[in-house]
Structure 1
């Protein structure tokens, strides 16, 4: 079963690591906690994770449901606490219904993408 994350991409610049990491860390009410945990991940591991997610970024504002193979997540050299946080973050926004609610609540005109598990 794949893990899922929703993040908001803002145009073509979203493919940059900085913009994408801000999108990842900025979702949900626990954004400060997520940001703190994200900063504990090594730059190399961040680049690997962002590289995976960047494959699903469009050149327009998009609500993204990206799939990451759990086997790949396990292969990243991450501290256990960070690995658990990332897995939880990726899972919590997996359903299309939740994606639709988030999109509506934020007033974002976006495309919801589903990728097969």
Structure 2
């Protein structure tokens, strides 16, 4: 009888626990966001990101477009890689990026793309 009661209480406890989502859901991309932009975010939110490089930029500079989930633009312009000795990143790979805080796009390996003022 004690085993059944213990099993029953355990079952009730386990069923009462919330199921936590471990993978972020990628929202639908609004029409204002370029097709090449990709989602960078986690369970608490994120942004759509488009990073580009061209020959007119310095070695440590990239062009960035950051869009909120609504499609509104958060930032558009030049961004600089920090530390400066890390001039090359896999900028077209979504897995390169870890998050956006409003003026910094965090890159794997303790790198950052900072908004140029």
Normalised by the size of structure 2, how large is the TM-score? 0.26
Q: Which has the higher helix share?
A: 1
Larger radius of gyration: 2
